[in-house]
Structure 1
Amino acid sequence: MSHDRPRLLARGSRLEAARIAELLRQETLGGILLIGAAAVALLAANVGDVYADVRDTVVGPSGLHLDLTIGAWASDGLLAIFFFVVGLELKRELVAGDLRDPRRAAVPIVAAVGGMVVPAVIYTLVNLGGATRGWAVPTATDIAFALAVLAALSTHLPSGLRTFLLTLAVVDDLLAISIIAVFYTDDLDVLWLLAAVVPIALFAAVVRWRTSPWLLVPLAVVAWACVHESGVHATVAGVVLGFTVPVHGAAERLEHVLRPLSAAVAVPVFAFFSAGVAIGGWSGLTDALSDRVTLGVVLGLVAGKTIGVLGATWLMARFTRADLDTDLSWWDVLGLSILAGIGFTVSLLIGELAFGPGSEADEHVKVGILAGSLVAAALAAVVLRARNRVYRRIEARERDDQS
């Protein structure tokens, strides 16, 4: 085997590895909070009417068309903070991270595309002649949820695997944002969209002055409101604003302030108000699980993500004549591909956009996301825990050899 052949999933620079390690710690904590919020929501939704009453309470000024339910404020408002941080991370990866190098970027990009296309095809085939509008629900990987599971499962897996999962999820987020903007915008008001350009341009100018981040908040709120009125989902404003921030200096300061707010508040609160589904006992659960919407989501997440991510990565190796990094095995890639089937935050959002909050199809989407994510996590646990034991033995042997 030639040593000149390119390596797939190789580790990046030491500086990049240190940055990603810190990011993984923050996202892992956020994932734990997200899982807890979803569990509490499920319990609250099935013990009475208080949960639904609070979620559906309307607040906000009606004159500005901002009289939204608390649940809508969580998905349209708080989640914009999450997408702003996603925008910062996307730009950083494109300008200074792994996605800057076309050779390193090719693998996670192709894997993410495969992980989007195959689940969408599976869902559509299951729902032909029915609720095909939800085709994008199983295409998104929840990085915080997946990293929380990975952290619980593995302490000895190579760092290149975690880096690949993070980069894959970053590209996955970009694809999901594009899907939301293009396919789930029904009534577009071009004038409001053009109006949003003004506060966004001012935000881009002010953020370069290195002033207090709080001076940017009013401009961000106005931009968010204009995009909300345009018919494009308001969270897209967060991504666009994130892309205007210079990578060096401003992005680091804003990310330091907002990433904890996103991980510890915005995403868990959204999860709490979006994940609660009244199952209606055993009969309700069996009815939901037998519905084609639910089956399409489960199969898309569990089978589609695995086939898409693993298959696309294998094809990259096959047609570029590249080898896996020497620290990794294809069993590792299989475990990671299964883990990518954990969908939550963006999947829940797409379900609401596709079918409307509170609709029967949306409720079945939630059941499918929860069931599919749990199955994906369980299957990934089997593979990754086995691989973790292998790497632990290798490390023990290396220590013995050195002593």
Structure 2
Amino acid sequence: MSAPSPSPAPGRNRKVLGRLSLPERTFVTDALRTETVGGVLLLAAAIAALIWANTPIRESYESVRDFHVGPASLGLDLSIEHWAADGLLAVFFFVAGIELKREMVAGDLRDPRAAALPVVAALCGMAVPALVYTLVNVTGGGSLDGWAVPTATDIAFALAVLAVIGTSLPSALRAFLLTLAVVDDLFAILIIAVFFTENLNFAALGGAAAGLAVFWLLLRRGVHGWYLYVPLALVIWGLMYNSGVHATIAGVAMGLMLRCTTRKDEGERRSPGERVEHLVRPLSAGLAVPLFALFSAGVAVSGGALGEVFTQPETLGVVLGLVVGKAVGIFGGTWLTARFTRASLSDDLAWPDVFAVSSLAGIGFTVSLLIGELAFAGDKALTDEVKAAVLLGSLIAAALSAVLLKVRNAKYRRLWEDEERDDDLDGIPDIYEQDNPAYHLRMAEIHERKAAEHRRLAEVTGGASEENDGPA
């Protein structure tokens, strides 16, 4: 056996935001396709909510939103708005839990060195907006209760913006945005669990924990059947809601329990987590999140109300946190990670590209609206004003990132075309085969075949010309 070749010095020659592996690229492409469709539906739902709440039929919007339904004996006599926030978003966080589990066992977060970038960028992208909000409200005499509102990124809305502006963002930047949002969701979940939980009902919490234990045992024993898991999940959700812990935590916990690695000896092509995510993600992106937006984004908007966003410290802190804090925090975290790990940016990208994507992460729609409702639950007027600030801040961040990305779109398109080129038509992009001798042999055969076809065509054309030039 030959001695192993020496490995490079730690941190040297490592590229930040370099090309993805082919399996990771395929997964990211599939995930982002669903998220993009969901983002467009989310955008449509938000627009519909704003129109519905700002027209003469706004009373019907309030009547539907505030209509109560559910068994009061189980503590679940909730408004439609409440069902959307606590019920439907549990599906969204269930998918987020699966994504996080997959990233930790099979994705970028599995390797500590690769995980450092999105983790540090996400932490800085949450800490700086919270700091911006806090500074604005300390100096302006506002409430500090909303410090967590501008800390979240809405990946679906961000991808909808990309779809609308039509930029061909390279897969490495898209994957960075997706992984960043997954880590962001994790910390948002922790914030909700730690800072927005009070008046615990330990009996209900114990019941939820017991239900989760049963859920875990069924998974570990390989028990199949949605008719077992769905009713159990509903019971766990109901107990978690009544415990005082935000009910979406139940969705995250169940998502994290799913196995996201394949068993090759059993012939698995996809893990159970991937199969469940494939089934549930359309429900989350196409129904749960848009309905939440429909019943949460309907706030009264006028010229005067939008102007007041910039005069109140709470709302101004949210806008500046999303627009300035997110961009500065994520960009700064990425640069610091590269600086202190002695890594260099991918040759295909420049630091302005990272700043543009960081600005895009300032779109904090879904989770920011949820945290805004939790932070100012006792003040309906301020809750609506903070929601308006989230909408406005997300809109400004979207417009800023659209301009920055459009400036570089010609460069992105060339990179995207290089990533997609498949001249040998084998279903694998050529950029992943350039070091494979078999690829060069196939390409030589293709070029030789095309050259032969050109020669035959020239002979046929030449022969026809000679016949035409002959005597009549």
User: TM-score over 0.5 for the alignment?
Assistant: yes
User: Is residue 205 from structure 1 mapped to residue 209 from structure 2 by the alignment?
Assistant: no
> Which residue of 1 is the match for residue 413 of structure 2?
392
Decide whether the 8 Å contact of 1:158 with 1:327 is kept in 2: no
Equivalence for 1:270: 292
For 1:150, the aligned partner's letter is L
Work out the CA distance in 1 between the residues paired with 2:390 and 2:76.
29
1:3-402 residue pairs with structure 2 within 5 A?
4-47=12-55, 48-128=58-138, 129-208=141-220, 209-248=222-261, 249-279=271-301, 281-356=302-377, 359-392=380-413
Q: Quickly say closer, same or farther: Cα 1:131–1:235, change in 2 above 3 A.
A: same
Q: Is the Cα–Cα contact under 8 Å of residues 323 and 393 in structure 2 kept in the other structure?
A: yes
Report deviation, 1:389. 1.6
CA distance in 2, matches of 1:39, 1:357: 26
What is the CA–CA distance in structure 2 between the aligned matches of 1:273 and 1:395, rounded to whole Å?
37
Taking the aligned partners of 2:315 and 2:199, their CA distance within structure 1 comes to: 27
Judging changes above 3 Å, is the alpha-carbon distance between structure 1 residues 5 and 396 closer, same or farther for their aligned structure 2 residues? closer
Change in 2 beyond 3 A, CA 1:157/1:356: same
- Runs of 4+ more than 6 Å apart: 394-399
Classify the secondary structure of the residue corresponding to 1:233: coil
Q: What is the rounded CA distance, in whole Å, between the counterparts of 1:348 and 1:224 in structure 2?
A: 21
Change (3 A) 1:270 1:98: same
Looking at structure 2, the residues matched to 90 and 394 of structure 1 have their Cα atoms a distance apart, in angstroms, of: 28
Structure 1 stretches lacking a partner, 5+ long:
none
- Tell me, in whole angstroms, the C-alpha distance in 1 between the residues paired with 2:417 and 2:287: 40
Compute the displacement of 1:394 (Å). Answer: 6.9
8 Å contact 1:335–1:383 — kept in the other structure? yes
Structure with bigger gyration radius: 2
Contact 1:153 1:381 in 2 (8 A): yes
Counterpart Cα distance in 2 of 1:340 and 1:22? 20
Secondary structure of 2:408's match?
helix
Instruction: Report the Cα offset of residue 210 of structure 1.
Output: 4.6
Moved more, 302-311 or 183-192: 183-192
Aligned partners of 1:157 and 1:387 also within 8 Å: no
Q: 1:241 to 1:282 in 2, by over 3 A?
A: same
Give the TM-score taking structure 1 as reference length: 0.94
Question: Cα–Cα, structure 1 residues 206 and 294, in superposed 2: closer, same or farther, change >3 Å?
Answer: same
- What per-residue deviation string (whole Å, max 9, x for no partner) do you get for residues 151-172 of structure 1? 3335433210000000000000
Q: What SS class does the counterpart of residue 299 from structure 1 fall into?
A: helix
Deviates more, 1:386-395 or 1:231-240: 386-395
Task: Work out the number of aligned pairs and report it.
Answer: 399
Gaps of 5+ in 2: 1-8, 262-270, 422-442, 448-472
| 353-362 or 113-122, which deviates more | 353-362
Residue type at the aligned position of 2:14: P
Tell me the alpha carbon deviations over residues 89-113 of structure 1, each in whole angstroms, 9 at most, x when there is no partner: 1001001111001111000000000
Instruction: Quote the Cα distance in structure 1 between the aligned partners of 2:44 and 2:219.
Output: 35
Q: CA deviation at 1:286?
A: 2.3
Q: Is the 8 A contact 1:339 1:380 kept in 2?
A: yes
Most deviating of 150-159 and 77-86: 150-159
Deviations 1:315-341 (A, max 9, x none): 111111110112211111010010000
Cα separation, partners in 2 of 1:100 and 1:189, compared to 1, 3 Å: same
Counterpart CA distance in 2 for 1:57 and 1:228 is: 19
Distance 1:40 1:332 in 2: 32
Secondary structure of 1:157's aligned partner: coil
What is the RMSD computed on CA atoms of the aligned residues? 2.1
Q: TM-score, normalised by structure 2?
A: 0.81
Alpha-carbon distance in 1 for matches of 2:127, 2:313 = 19
What amino acid sits opposite 2:387 in the alignment?
A: K
Report the Cα distance in structure 2 between the residues aligned to 1:186 and 1:98, rounded to whole angstroms.
35
Q: Decide whether aligned partners of structure 1 residues 191 and 23 sit closer, same or farther in structure 2, where only a CA change above 3 A counts.
A: same
Q: Percent identity?
A: 57
